[in-house]
């Protein structure tokens, strides 16, 4: 089992170190190799995703990723900015299916900004298409407008596009995930989110979802416009089971959903390609404002490592063990700053990692 470890920038190095520690405590045989990515790689090699890093990622069974980005790179040309590293990895590894579960742990019900009764027991799964849409659509750029509201003035444009096969494959991922969850006691429903009242891409999205849905008669399918979905997520989040949507809407809705759980510091994610090769990263960013202070929450990354074991490395039992250990440290009242509340014990990034290792034993 070969794992490419790409810590990246900001808190990335701190949280990935804790996840690696947890993996090493499992008594499984891993080959782990670390490489630079993002701003760190730009500093060392002049590019956020050097050839050597990409090669390592391609050859690995799975990639454990921290986070990339820092404000100090905002002025660089876009191809050199840290974010291009994660976009490049998604593109070159074909990681089209992004799983972002939002689970509210019982012990953290009070840490959410929503009323406890709205989120207690929350367990929903956002599936975001990750290699299409306005993120990657061509053409894009800047030019002088020849039409529109202000001909003759500078304009910028991006292209939102989706092809039928792109939608079909993410639809299958969503229905199959809903089926798995149903077997474990969930409702068995897919909510497809789009903006078909305005956008052609969304109309095709909806049409294809309906077609593929016919192959999954055991799973219910409903549709929601993205603005309404944003509202329903804070109004009645538990009504969702699997939410599937495009790249742009999924980016926004998954950040929104993360806050239902108390802290974005708790949310893992998996980005998968058709060969079960995956990239696993916390849903949060590099948080340069708290980098180097040892206060970041490593649990999202540790839970991402658990997803890696289950999704890419066929080690479901080890994944269960990590998840149980995370529950146990929360039960012990251990909290990093982002989830701290009166009456609990505040711990550092390192102490949290150590506590998970101890709970594993
Ligand atoms: C995410 C991030 C990325 C995205 C950025 C860093 C390019 O926000 O993984 O959600 O927009 O997809
Ligand atoms: Mn995002």
> What ipTM score was computed for the predicted complex, to two decimals?
0.99
DSSP string over 253-281: HHHHHHGGGS-GGG-EEEEE-TTS-EEEE
End-to-end CA, the chain? 22
Asked if residue 221 and residue 122 are part of one domain, the reply reads: yes
| Domain final residue pick, 261, 288, 310 | 261
Atom of ligand 1 nearest to the CA of 98: 9
Asked if residue 289 and residue 238 are part of one domain, the reply reads: no
How much is the pLDDT for 226? 98
CA distance 288 to 300: 17
Predicted confidence (pLDDT) at residue 262 exceeds the cutoff of 90:
no
Q: Is residue 146 part of a domain?
A: no
Q: What is the pTM of this model?
A: 0.95
E-assigned strand segments in the chain: 2-8, 31-34, 62-67, 97-103, 123-129, 141-144, 154-157, 189-194, 220-225, 242-245, 268-272, 278-282, 334-335, 345-346
Q: Is 361 exposed, middle or buried (0-12, 13-18, 19+ CB in 10 A)?
A: exposed
Helix (H, G, I), strand (E, B) or coil at 183: helix
Q: Give the pLDDT mean for 70-90.
A: 95
The tens digit of pLDDT for each residue in 125-135 reads 999 999 999 99
* Cα 172 to middle of ligand 2, angstroms: 23
The overall average pLDDT reported for the chain is 96
Asked if residue 118 and residue 219 are part of one domain, the reply reads: yes
CA distance 194 to 246: 8
User: What residues pack around ion ligand 2 (CB closer than 5 A)?
Assistant: 251
| Domain final residue pick, 261, 291, 307 | 261
User: Residue 324 annotated as binding?
Assistant: no
Asked if residue 223 and residue 123 are part of one domain, the reply reads: yes
Confidence of residue 43 (pLDDT cuts 50, 70, 90): very high
Q: Give the pLDDT mean for 228-257.
A: 96
Confidence of residue 110 (pLDDT cuts 50, 70, 90): confident
| Domain final residue pick, 214, 240, 261 | 261
Structural domain that includes position 281? 1-96+270-361
User: Residue 348 annotated as binding?
Assistant: no
Please tell me the residue having the least CA distance from ligand 1 atom 9.
Answer: 283
Q: What is the token pair recorded at 260?
A: 């239902």
Q: In the chain, how many domains are there?
A: 2
How much is the pLDDT for 287? 96
Asked if residue 208 and residue 229 are part of one domain, the reply reads: yes
CA distance 327 to 356: 9
Q: Is 157 exposed, middle or buried (0-12, 13-18, 19+ CB in 10 A)?
A: exposed
* Cα 353 to middle of ligand 2, angstroms: 25
User: Residue 291 annotated as binding?
Assistant: yes
Our mutation pick for probing the ligand 1 site, out of 71, 251, 256, 287, counting the most ligand atoms within 8 A of Cβ, is 251
DSSP lists the bridge partners of residue 155 as: 143
Q: Is residue 156 part of a domain?
A: no
Q: Give the ligand with the smallest distance to the CA of 255.
A: 2
């Amino acid at each position: 089992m070969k794992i490419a470890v790409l810590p990246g920038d900001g808190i990335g190095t701190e949280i990935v170190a804790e996840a690696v520690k947890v993996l090493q405590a499992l008594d499984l045989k891993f080959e782990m190799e670390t490489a630079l990515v993002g701003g760190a790689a730009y500093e060392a090699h002049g590019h956020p995703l050097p050839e050597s890093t990409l090669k390592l990622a391609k050859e690995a069974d799975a990639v454990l990723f921290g986070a990339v980005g820092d404000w100090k790179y905002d002025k660089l040309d876009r191809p050199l900015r840290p974010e291009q590293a994660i976009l490049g990895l998604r593109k070159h590894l074909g990681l089209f299916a992004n799983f972002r579960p939002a689970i509210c742990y019982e012990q953290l019900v009070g840490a959410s900004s929503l009323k406890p009764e709205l989120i207690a027991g929350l367990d929903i799964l956002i599936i975001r298409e990750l290699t299409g849409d306005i993120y990657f659509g061509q053409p894009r750029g800047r030019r002088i407008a020849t039409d529109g509201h202000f001909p003759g003035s500078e304009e910028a444009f991006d292209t939102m596009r989706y092809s039928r096969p792109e939608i079909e494959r993410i639809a299958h991922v969503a229905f199959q995930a809903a089926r798995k969850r149903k077997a474990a006691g969930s409702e068995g429903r897919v909510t497809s989110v789009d903006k078909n009242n305005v956008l052609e891409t969304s109309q095709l999205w909806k049409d294809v979802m309906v077609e593929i849905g016919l192959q999954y008669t055991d799973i219910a399918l409903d549709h929601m416009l993205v603005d309404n979905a944003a509202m329903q997520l804070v109004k009645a989040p538990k009504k969702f089971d699997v939410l599937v949507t495009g790249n742009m809407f999924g980016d926004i809705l998954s950040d929104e959903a993360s806050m239902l759980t108390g802290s974005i510091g708790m949310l893992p994610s998996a980005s998968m390609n058709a060969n079960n090769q995956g990239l696993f990263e916390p849903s949060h960013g590099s948080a340069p404002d708290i980098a180097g202070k040892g206060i970041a929450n490593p649990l999202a990354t540790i839970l991402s490592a658990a997803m890696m074991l289950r999704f890419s490395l066929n080690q479901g039992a080890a994944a269960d063990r990590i998840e149980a250990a995370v529950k146990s440290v929360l039960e012990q009242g251990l909290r990093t700053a982002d989830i701290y509340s009166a009456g609990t014990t505040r711990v550092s990034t390192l102490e949290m990692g150590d506590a998970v290792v101890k709970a594993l034993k």
